[in-house]
Amino acid sequence: MPIQYYIFFCLTLFSIGVIGVLTRRNAIIVFMCVELMLNAVNLLLVAFSKMHHAAGLKIAAASTAGIDAQIFVFFIMVVAAAEVSVGLAIIVMMFRNTHSIDINFLNRLKN
Amino acid sequence: MSTLEILFFALSAFAVISAAMVLISKNPIHSVLWLILVFFAISGHYILLNAQFLAIVNIIVYAGAIMVLFLFVIMLMNVKSDNEPQKKLFTKFIGVLSGGSLLTLLIALVKQTVQLEGKEVMMKEGTIGLIHPLGKALFSDYVVPFEISSVLFLSAMVGAVIIGKK
């Protein structure tokens, strides 16, 4: 499978995430769209790792080229899990104070 | 068309449609359920790339833990879908336009890139995605980041509890 197909697919997913962040006002949906963008990047990292691995196997038969990208994806998932737990706690606190999850309420951070 | 290509295009179409439904559906609970479907499609892609460990971790961590957390928070808040504030139609249009132009720009960029031409992604073969090589790399070259991530988890847990208690 050519690498371009994977890039196009991941770009589409990423752009859908961007559109979601720009068009929705529900804080949880915005957060979910950020997760979607993160996943698109993860998939692209794995696709590039396999591309790199195919190139490395031509040089040496026992090559483990490309394994770093998969470790990176693993760490991205770890950080995403930590980020979601803190982010959802912030959203819950915001809901408790304002009784709404409209992100426009966060305007008051300006002043 | 080989079986791999059919699977690739089917999974991609499934993922893109589900991702679009995340944005379109009014009810936040439906959005979460559609997003779980996106994650399952992405896990299918990982299996196609023979990244079996990441496929399982993706299902367990994303579709399992994170999405349950989202669902839990939405049900805890009891947000009604009918009184959800909507952005103005003009703002929505501008948002879709800018996202679409980003997509067009990046696709045009990738299409022009000479370095990516003829590069093939290895599918259903290769051993780097299996647990054994990944575990070896994780506990030899990457053991320090691995341990630091446990500290990160601890601090995230403490932070979530402190923020939630206020």
Q: What is the largest CA-CA distance in chain B?
A: 58
pLDDT at B145 over 80: yes
Q: Which domains does chain A show, CATH number per domain?
A: 3-109 (1.10.287.3510)
**Model pLDDT, residue B83:** 62
Tokens (6 digits) for A102:
């409209």
Interchain CB contact of A106 with B (< 8 Å): no
**Alpha carbon B62 to its chain's center:** 8
pLDDT at B85 over 80: no
pLDDT at A104 over 80: no
Express each pLDDT in B86-132 by its tens digit: 777 888 899 999 999 999 999 999 999 888 887 888 787 878 888 99
Interchain CB contact of A71 with B (< 8 Å): yes
In whole angstroms, give the CA distance from residue B7 to residue A5: 13
User: Which of chain B's residues have a Cβ under 8 Å away from the Cβ of A83?
Assistant: 156
**Model pLDDT, residue B12:** 93
Express each pLDDT in A45-82 by its tens digit: 999 999 888 888 888 877 778 888 999 999 999 999 99
**Model pLDDT, residue B81:** 57
In whole angstroms, give the CA distance from residue B37 to residue B14: 8
Residue A87's φ and ψ, nearest 5 degrees, are -60, -40
Amino acid, res. B152 = L
pTM of structure:
0.90
More confident residue, B79 or A89: A89
Select the residue of A6, A9, A25 nearest B86 (Cβ to Cβ).
A25
pLDDT at B43 over 60: yes
Amino acid, res. A77 = M
Report DSSP letters for B113-164, one per residue: -STTTT-B---S--STTSHHHHHHHHHHTTHHHHHHHHHHHHHHHHHHHHHH
pLDDT at B135 over 70: yes
Taking CB atoms and an 8 Å limit, are B102 and A15 in contact across chains? yes
User: Which of chain B's residues have a Cβ under 8 Å away from the Cβ of A15?
Assistant: 99-100, 102-103, 106
User: Which of chain A's residues have a Cβ under 8 Å away from the Cβ of B66?
Assistant: 35, 80-81, 84
**Model pLDDT, residue B114:** 85
